Amino acid sequence: MNTKTDFLIIGGGISGLTLAIKLARLSPANEILLITKENLEEGSTFYAQGGIACVWNDTDSIDKHIQDTLKAGDGLCNEEIVKKILIQAPERINELIDIGVNFTRNENGEYDLGKEGGHSERRVLHVNDQTGQNIELKLIKAVKKIDNIEIKEHWCAINLYAKNFQCSGAYVLDQESVNIHNIAAKATILATGGAGKIYLYTTNPDVASGDGIAMAYRAGAIIANMEFFQFHPTCLYHPYAKSFLITEAMRGEGAVLKDIRGKEFMQNYHPSKELAPRDIVSRAIDAELKRTGDDHVLLDIASKKSPDFIKSHFPGVYDACLKFGIDITKEPIPVVPAAHYCCGGVLTKIDGSTKVKNLYVIGESAYTGLHGANRLASNSLLEGLVCAHECAHTIIKNIKNLHINEFEEWEPGNAVPSTEAVVITQNWDEIRRFMWNYVGIVRTDLRLQRAKKRINLLLDEINQYYWDFKIEKNLVELRNLATVAKLIIVSAISRKESRGIHFNLDYPNKSKMSRPTTLRRPW
């Protein structure tokens, strides 16, 4: 089915929604189609708890924020990009305030600024511990008021249509009608989020299957720094909890990590203890679990803060844990590390532009150079806001040179309905497990080579299945997950050092010279 639009946005988190609003305001005569493969609010933004980092008072400074970001990035940040993004923070956040985001205030009526790992000052604006949810809902409300934005939920992007490094749009599956649309657009923007679903334990929602990165890679875009996958130190450990994140802000307010015998251990790993960068805290927990053989560690806020403080500052965590019989005002929380944020992605400029003409990538799917080898806590929502702003202005600036190029409809060939869906679940389970065991928090060359052999075999199986059977969302996601898994593995093998989030026991030290890892599909 042929569909045309001026701008096609794939993804409905903070990046995609902000971009849609900005494009509509800058060019109200153009049509904007925003698609999401699940409900509009179902994405990583909605589940982001911590907040947005921004210099907001006189005791802090942009230079301090820059230095904290560069330090966390461990030598691989693009300093020019870091400065450009952090300088814009107050202006972009004021725009959120203008659409109704009510950041939490203290008893003096001032914004209650949190402090998280790696930050030298309190600079994290938040809405209690449900920041992302509040931002997402306000953005959705704003988008739905704009006439020239059309929203299609449960539309799953299958592949980009790109020839000679020029993107003309995408093939998209309408999951309800099972029709496949070829959507031609002047500009196509990927705002599809991360790839946490690739790992056995993740804080990400199920939609985080690396779709944008995989599609851009197949279209010829350059992919950078995929070996740097950030693991959040504290994910709720419970057989019925689906990877619920315990916000880092809790450690910022004094919560301490203990082993199951009640002994604190972070002082053995870093002078900043619980407020060390996430990679250090994650490796410390991993080391403790390997040393003791325990299944989890404990995060204790109950002995540090009053019940009223805990309930008022962390209502989301309190309610979620209580559903599983854990009263965080009285007892510690069982936690384990989990895959949290993809610091690599499609190589872009600050405006999301890529090496593929008319293709833009923003948010977690992109690698701008802000995060380097490790993301500083609460810089991600900020990056999404700033890059969406820059993307909108670049697209409108070049609007006279953009044209809709229609392309052929989807050709199903001899594909038949699947009778072997178990192949999808089996392969997905295999990928998640060997990625966790071989390409997780601590790596070795032997583990990485094992992972490479497995992913090559699975890719052959998945690609054959892809062409033999009719398209469905689970198959699209599996194909993308396998592609991203290989990108991570190959990137990790090529980095002969330990830096930032990437830690290899065979190369425990940093190289004197280091640069981003880049990959491009062979043509």
Catalytic residues: 278
The full 3-state SS of 64-90, as one line of letters, equals HHHHHHHHHHCCCCCHHHHHHHHHHHH
Q: For tokens 């992109």, what's the residue?
A: 366
Token reading at 458: 């699975």
Angle, helices 62-73 vs 79-98, to 10°: value is 120
How far apart, in Å, are the Cα atoms of 275 and each of 263, 317, 346, 441? Answer: 17, 19, 30, 18
Spatial distance between the Cα atoms of 249 and 125, rounded to a whole number of angstroms = 11
In the chain, the largest separation of any two C-alpha atoms, in whole Å, equals 68
User: How many residues appear in the chain?
Assistant: 523
Residue of 154, 121, 169, 170 lying closest to 36 (CA atoms):
154
Report which secondary-structure segment, H or E, holds 161. Answer: strand 155-163
Spatial distance between the Cα atoms of 262 and 300, rounded to a whole number of angstroms = 9
* Cβ atoms of 66 and 88 closer than 8 Å: no
How far apart, in Å, are the Cα atoms of 89 and each of 16, 59, 128, 335, 366? Answer: 18, 16, 20, 32, 18
Give Cα 193 distance to the centre of its chain.
5
Half-sphere exposure of 180 (CA within 13 A, CB side): 16
* Cβ atoms of 368 and 258 closer than 8 Å: no
Residue 153's Cβ-count burial label (10 Å; 0-12, 13-18, 19+) is: middle
Residue of 190, 145, 187, 135 lying closest to 378 (CA atoms):
135
> CA angle, 471 as apex, 490 and 144 as ends, to 5°?
95
Spatial distance between the Cα atoms of 31 and 50, rounded to a whole number of angstroms = 34
Kind of pairing, strands 155-163 and 166-174?
Answer: antiparallel
Token reading at 141: 């409300």
Instruction: Render the burial of 432-458: b for 16+ CB within 10 Å, e for the rest.
Output: bebbbebbbbebeeebbebbbebbeeb
| 410, amino acid identity | W
Spatial distance between the Cα atoms of 321 and 249, rounded to a whole number of angstroms = 16
Alpha helices in 192-295 (DSSP H): 211-219, 249-252, 278-292
Spatial distance between the Cα atoms of 480 and 158, rounded to a whole number of angstroms = 9
Half-sphere exposure of 51 (CA within 13 A, CB side): 31
